[in-house]
Amino acid sequence: AQSVTQLGSHVSVSERALVLLRCNYSSSVPPYLFWYVQYPNQGLQLLLKYTSAATLVKGINGFEAEFKKSETSFHLTKPSAHMSDAAEYFCAVYSGTYKYIFGTGTRLKVLA
């Protein structure tokens, strides 16, 4: 069965510092992986997706993620944090049976 694990339920970074949010996956087949962002009182919004076309995936708002099969990881990064990046981020894997399986989320705090 597919699953994802997000390390760190809370991450704090300074404004303009590197953002790194960790996600490891478990899948018996080549996975389709996603990152979603959730702002307060809003639904989830797709940031980026990995579908095996390229291992480095670029998303919206300057975020990117790299698929590393050897490490079973799909970490989310952004070179320079902005105050508006403060939100909760969810990693998800497509289960292959029309379902997405979500991680428990990482709340990002950006310090001025």
Partner 1 sequence: GAGVSQTPSNKVTEKGKYVELRCDPISGHTALYWYRQSLGQGPEFLIYFQGTGAADDSGLPNDRFFAVRPEGSVSTLKIQRTERGDSAVYLCASSLRGAGEDSPLHFGNGTRLTVT
- Of 20-28, 33-41, 56-64, 69-77: span binding partner 1 (CB under 8 A): 33-41
From 89, 66, 76, 58, select the one nearest 22 (Cα to Cα): 76
d(CA 77, CA 65): 6
Bin 6: left if φ > 0, else alpha if -120 < ψ < 50, else beta.
Answer: beta
Q: Name residues contacting partner 1, limited to 34-63 (CB under 8 A).
A: 34, 36, 41-46, 49, 51-52
- Of 21-29, 55-63, 67-75, 99-107: span binding partner 1 (CB under 8 A): 99-107
Q: Is 82 in the site for partner 1 (CB under 8 A)?
A: no
Least CB distance to partner 1 at residue 59 (A): 11
Q: Name residues contacting partner 1, limited to 12-31 (CB under 8 A).
A: none
From 50, 1, 2, select the one nearest 25 (Cα to Cα): 2
Query: How many other C-beta atoms lie within 10 A of the C-beta of residue 58?
Result: 10
Q: Which residues bind partner 1 (CB under 8 A)?
A: 9, 32, 34, 36, 41-46, 49, 51-52, 90, 92, 94, 97-105
